Amino acid sequence: MQLGDLQFYTGSIDGVQGSATTAAIKKFQMALRTKATGVLTSAQEDELNRRFAMRVFATIAADIPDDVLQRPEVLGKLKVSYAPGEISASRLFAGPDDYPPIDFAAYGIVAFKAHATSRDRDRHIMICEAYVASIRSAAQLGRLKSEQMVTVWPIRSAPVAVDLTISDSDRNCNRAVDQYGNINADRALREARAAGADVNGIGPYLLAWSPPAKKGEPDAVVLIADLSDVRNYEQALQIMSDWVRDIERDPHLWSRGWTLDAIRLKMQRWVDRRGTQLLTAVAGAN
């Protein structure tokens, strides 16, 4: 998979290492200016994975300059493994022009109804910290966008979104809250409301569409998780973790668009687990 994506291998991928794969490995080894044996050493395999991860990373945030990608602190995060075909739950600090992120398999957004104020800023930060703790960064998974369901935290400045994505520090949430992208959150809430969603609580709401291109269409199905009653970190962490486990990591639910029967089953499980309806889905008019 990595050899093909990096243009060293051009044949069909069948999982069998034949002569074409050996030739591709030799081409890669020649590019490294090492002896072309046709057998990867562990160090060469690490370098192959690193180069592939860098390419995936760059497609996720295409406006990241090359000099930034070469920073040691960035390269260190890109030494990741890759297993083709797996669908991964991911998160992304997304700039103002990244909506909807159409190359991902499915798309969600953490939608607050207003910027944080002195009265509720701690709550916004707490929910952001649960979001970061529960979901791995899309830029560090080493997977193609088409193999991810991403839930984004909107940011109003593209450079800030890129910086937050790269640094991925547990201190990011102060900045992420201050730079929250209300324009895209408001648009997502309007589109969910137009589809029939009840988003009249204080929020925030986890809103999701599949495929992402359906966002804003009149017949789109919208999945909604309501975090209005979340009052502490443990509650936020539990809901975010459930969102990852029950929604993002279940491609049967959304890989060909939302499967309403499966969604209803998930909704009932959330009710059984908590005794309240936190997860709902609405379908726009056909």
pLDDT in tens, 238-262: 999 999 888 888 877 887 778 778 8
CA distances from 6 to 2, 114, 250 (A): 6, 43, 29
For the entire predicted model, the pTM comes to: 0.71
CA distances from 63 to 66, 222, 246 (A): 9, 29, 32
Predicted local distance difference test score (pLDDT) of residue 167: 76
Predicted local distance difference test score (pLDDT) of residue 71: 56
Q: Rounded CA gap, 10 and 126, in Å?
A: 47
The residue type of 100 is P
pLDDT at 227 over 90: yes
E strand map for 166-212: 205-209
Peptide bond into 65 cis (omega under 30): no
Q: Computed from CA positions of residues 121, 244, 52, 46, in that sequence, does the dihedral angle turn out positive or negative?
A: positive
Predicted local distance difference test score (pLDDT) of residue 19: 81
CA distances from 273 to 233, 257, 269 (A): 18, 25, 6
Predicted local distance difference test score (pLDDT) of residue 15: 53
Nearest Cα residue to 135 out of 168, 184, 180, 100: 168
Predicted local distance difference test score (pLDDT) of residue 78: 45
Predicted local distance difference test score (pLDDT) of residue 20: 81
For residues 39-61, average pLDDT: 66
pLDDT at 217 over 90: no
Nearest Cα residue to 51 out of 92, 79, 11, 13: 79
For residues 54-83, average pLDDT: 50
Q: Do 210 and 104 form a contact (C-beta atoms < 8 A)?
A: no
Per residue in 91-123, pLDDT (tens digit) is 889 999 888 777 788 889 999 999 999 999 999
pLDDT at 168 over 70: no
Predicted local distance difference test score (pLDDT) of residue 123: 97
Determine what percent of the chain is predicted with pLDDT higher than 70: 78
Q: Do 78 and 138 form a contact (C-beta atoms < 8 A)?
A: no
| Mean of pLDDT over the chain | 80
